[in-house]
Structure 1
Amino acid sequence: MSGFKSLFKQTFIYGLATVLPRMLSFILVPLYTNPAVLSVKEYGRVSFIFAYFVLFNVVLAYGMETAFFRFFNKEKSQEKVTSTAAISLILSSFALLGIAFLFRNQISSLIDIELKYLNLVFIILLLDALVIIPFAWLRATAQPMRYAIIKILNVAINLGLNVFLLLYLKELSYENSLFSSICKDNYEISYIFISNLIASSITLLLLLPFYLKIKLKFDTVLWKNMMRYAMPVLIAGIAYSINETFDRILLEKLLPKNIADEQIGMYSACYKLALFMTLFATAFRLGIEPYFFSHSKSKNPQKNYAKILEYFVAFGSIIFLSVVVFADILKPYIIRSEAYYEAMWIVPFILLANFCLGIYHNLSVWYKITDRTKFGAYISILGAIITLVINFILIPIIGFKGSAIATLSAYLVMMLSSFFFGRKYYPIPYNLKKIALYFGLSTLISMLYFYQFRGNYVIGIGALIVFLGIVFQLEKKEFKTLLKK
């Protein structure tokens, strides 16, 4: 149980680094959905551009972060692994972004992003790529507090600048010539990316001591081995980015031009209500990923892996059901304009999709610690194919509802595929009856409530209390043991 105590301690701190900044980022959704700041169409445009951010970030990272964790725990010289990974990302980032700047006009036309925004995007991508290994090193060397402080500071700066530039700059420009010189009309979208750029710049400055501390030595043999491990992760990452954000891109391409950005705006705003599940799953993954690798050679690690998934599903089911029940209470605080509420239909689907994705990340331990990362690529590609096919079929018929259905279908299939492959290559004794009970019951109650009894809080809260009672009864011994430890 001491291993679990360490796991939950790190998960809490990494969760703090993820949850608090993203909880603060809720401020941005009310800000962006305020009609006085951005129209639904403009918010859709911002969401469309950020969809490409995910894809470009994956390409620039090319699986090196995951390879770093694997070889950091595998190789005798951790310093050599760190320096090789860092140099690789420095060289590749400058090379790829240099090429991108040379062909920026062609790229702008190809992906339909205005050049004034694309130039900012390229610089932000470079800055973010240069902090991948420093952040990974902080996690690998068990420095969660420093990791958390820098992450939180990054988002705090970003949020503060967004609020200042979008809400207060214009008013101050009437009173002060300094502010009037930087205030521009119809520049709101640019201000959003400028805020991001400044925050990323400060983050890199804070992490520069990492580059000064390590001895920059490049081991070609090690790098080739790391790249062989990383390439399937890159493919899986590209497929993941398709699953995660390509729906916005497809909505823009497949819907009529006069409604596409508005549909993306509504869809993206209501998608944010699934953030509670995303935060939980991300924090949990950040905590368990180093744990999986570091305990892979311990005695009977499969037993611990099984228990971890059980905990995840139990807590995830509670979060899923709670957000569905209180979605209509939460929405006015997050989404400030009723113009977006048409897309509330997607909320249970997106929550469940992210729940499945979280389970998939827990199940993925089998191919990561057995060096079968190619299966991660295969499974993610399968999910990407499902995402693309269903979106292409359903978007022209039912718009953003088709995107929500596609997202859930892709992550559900990925989750089940990883489970079945894992049983063959690295059997883990999961408590399937208990996991299926939590997952199935929370899904059934959530769907029935939202689409049949939505707004009837007697039924909703009553069902939630009953479900909490079931989880407590089945897990109370484990909870007591953990608390004692």
Structure 2
Amino acid sequence: MSIAKKLASQTAVYGVSSIVGRVLTYLLVPLYTGAFAAAQYGVVTGLYAYVSFLNVVFTYGMETTYFRFANRPGTDRRVLYDRTLSLLLVSSVGLSLLLMALARPLLGLLDIGPGHERYAYWVALILGLDAASAIPFARLRLENKARKFATVKMAGIVLNVALNLFFIVLCPYLLKRGGGHAAISAVYDPGVGVGYVFLSNLAASAFTLLLLGRELLDFRFRLNLEPLRPLLKYAYPLMLMGLAGMVNETLDRILLPKWLPAGFYPGQSSLTAVGIYGACYKLSIFMSLVIQAFRYAAEPFFFAQSTEKNSPATFALVLKWFTLCCAVIFVVISLNVEDFGALFLRRAEYRQGLAVVPVLLLANLFLGVYYNLSVWFKLTDKTYYGTYIGAGGAVLTIVLNFLLIPVLGYMGSAIATLACYFMMAVLCWRLGERHFPVPYPVARLGLWLWLAVALVALGWWVPVAGWGARHAWHLALSGAFVGALWLVEGRRLRAA
């Protein structure tokens, strides 16, 4: 099996858990958009935006650091595992307690009134539990135990979905019908409302940690700070890079209610706009699934391949096929977004924001390209370049959101996200050319991406009357792109 196909097979295993799991989770979107008004869903969207930031703080780059040091000659992987996990366990407890103490100010930033501090408490516990499981999951990836990784991830996701269905669908239904009132009242409080989204997640995170019991029980607590200094020196730029990345990925949902002019969307509050934008953002999940599955497989793969003589050619081949796969997803989803919107966004108010989906899909495509290109500064131990690139993207994100939200609303946030990720990918590629040259087929990939964007624009801007004719037109454009890709690149794919 070729190296590229080996990576593809590993990505497929991780992808099964990511795709099936995310699809199951994504099936909750119709549930939430049917059960909660957009303003209520805006609370969930806003708090989970903070979760994305805080996940980076709680793990502070130690997963990638673990991979890097585990592949260095002479490293005792058992001792390394013990030290990194011990450090994360101690820091997770401290950070969770601090977050609980700051519950009221955090909720105030989201304009969530008093009496909902328990949401922040539950989020703090979720973050702590997820951080504690980060290094055991990284160990499974390092040891190529993709099946166990996928199984544990899936089990937690299935439990999360099941609890959401129980608390948000089944319990209200039974209470309404009057069946088993006493038993339901013992475990269900209608006043919790959207809080059951967080409670379900908390239970799933705890269950996931239990399933990693074997990886947790065989570790020895070691918290000698002196041997940890080189790890922390490597990790802290990654944490800063991750925080900058979260600014780029989630800050728009925090800034949107702050910078959206009153009455910009008639009859809608700022939280309603956040709820609509957050729900439509979920439709870019199909791109995120591929990126997440790829990252799970690629990070240990890149470190393992770094010592091979032909590693630059391998990295170039990986980027090519990754980008082309993502281009297909971008075209197909963007041209048929109305169907996906009708399927997943149950209330019509959420479908007002569907125009942002193609922009966000393309933005996530460039984010995936950036993850591919970023291999050079991780392999050369120049992780501070990732901090510089991420910080530049964060500044651009804030500036463009400030300029565009008052003029374009949440479409301005989507455009800012696209501009940020495109800039980061280009900057990372240019710097990589100087420090770790890789023969990426930039011109060829650029032509394919221009064709993809042109076909999507054609599908959106050329008016076709009638539901059937419009769908036939969009399917024809999608088929034309896939067909052209297969005719030109198919032979190279079979030989890869």
Tell me the residue number matched to 1:190. Answer: 195
Once the 2 structures are TM-superposed, how far is the Cα of residue 256 of structure 1 from its aligned partner?
Answer: 5.3
Tell me the residue number matched to 1:130. Answer: 132
1:50 matched to 2:55? The reply is no
1:233 matched to 2:235? The reply is no
1:393-445 Cα offsets, whole Å, 9 max, x none, are: 11122211110111111101001100100111111011223211211111121
Q: How does 1:49-68 map to 2 (within 5 A)?
A: 49-68=47-66
Mark the CA change 1:106 to 1:208 in structure 2 (over 3 Å): closer, same or farther. Answer: same
Aligned-CA RMSD value: 1.7
1:481 matched to 2:495? The reply is yes
Q: Comparing 440-449 with 13-22, which one deviates more in the overlay?
A: 440-449
Tell me the residue number matched to 1:471. Answer: 485
Once the 2 structures are TM-superposed, how far is the Cα of residue 110 of structure 1 from its aligned partner?
Answer: 5.0
Which of 365, 368, 371 is the matching residue for 2:381? 371
Tell me the residue number matched to 2:451. Answer: 441
Q: How does 1:191-210 map to 2 (within 5 A)?
A: 191-210=196-215
Q: Comparing 120-129 with 2-11, which one deviates more in the overlay?
A: 2-11
Q: Comparing 208-217 with 321-330, which one deviates more in the overlay?
A: 208-217
Secondary structure at the aligned position of 2:83 is classed as helix
1:184-237 Cα offsets, whole Å, 9 max, x none, are: 234221111110111111011111221211233345343111111111111011
Secondary structure at the aligned position of 2:438 is classed as coil
Task: Give the AA of the match of 1:204.
Answer: L
Q: Comparing 14-23 with 220-229, which one deviates more in the overlay?
A: 220-229
Once the 2 structures are TM-superposed, how far is the Cα of residue 61 of structure 1 from its aligned partner?
Answer: 0.8
Tell me the residue number matched to 1:96. Answer: 95
Once the 2 structures are TM-superposed, how far is the Cα of residue 252 of structure 1 from its aligned partner?
Answer: 1.9
Aligned 8 A contact 1:172 1:180 in 2:
no
Q: Comparing 326-335 with 248-257, which one deviates more in the overlay?
A: 248-257
Tell me the residue number matched to 1:425. Answer: 435
Tell me the residue number matched to 2:271. Answer: 261
Task: Give the AA of the match of 1:124.
Answer: I
CA distance in 2 between counterparts of 1:208 and 1:450 reads 51
Tell me the residue number matched to 1:73. Answer: 71
Which of 215, 220, 227 is the matching residue for 1:215? 220
CA distance in 1 between counterparts of 2:461 and 2:84 reads 49
Aligned 8 A contact 1:140 1:290 in 2:
yes
1:33-66 Cα offsets, whole Å, 9 max, x none, are: 11xx101111112111111110111111111111
Task: Give the AA of the match of 2:471.
Answer: Y
Which 4+ stretches in 1 moved above 6 angstroms?
none
CA distance in 2 between counterparts of 1:221 and 1:184 reads 50
CA distance in 2 between counterparts of 1:104 and 1:33 reads 26
Q: How does 1:120-159 map to 2 (within 5 A)?
A: 120-159=122-161
1:426-476 Cα offsets, whole Å, 9 max, x none, are: 110112232112111111211232233476234322222222222112222
1:175 matched to 2:176? The reply is no
Tell me the residue number matched to 1:247. Answer: 252
CA distance in 2 between counterparts of 1:458 and 1:172 reads 43
Aligned 8 A contact 1:79 1:215 in 2:
no
Tell me the residue number matched to 2:291. Answer: 281
Mark the CA change 1:155 to 1:422 in structure 2 (over 3 Å): closer, same or farther. Answer: same
CA distance in 1 between counterparts of 2:442 and 2:138 reads 33
> What is the percentage of aligned positions where both structures have the same residue?
35
Tell me the residue number matched to 1:362. Answer: 372
Give TM-score scaled by structure 1 length. Answer: 0.95
Once the 2 structures are TM-superposed, how far is the Cα of residue 279 of structure 1 from its aligned partner?
Answer: 0.7
In the alignment, structure 2 segments of 5+ residues that lack a partner are 263-267
CA distance in 2 between counterparts of 1:46 and 1:111 reads 10
CA distance in 2 between counterparts of 1:451 and 1:413 reads 26
Q: Comparing 156-165 with 459-468, which one deviates more in the overlay?
A: 459-468
Tell me the residue number matched to 1:334. Answer: 344
CA distance in 1 between counterparts of 2:483 and 2:495 reads 18
Tell me the residue number matched to 2:32. Answer: 32
CA distance in 1 between counterparts of 2:447 and 2:58 reads 40
Give TM-score scaled by structure 2 length. Answer: 0.93
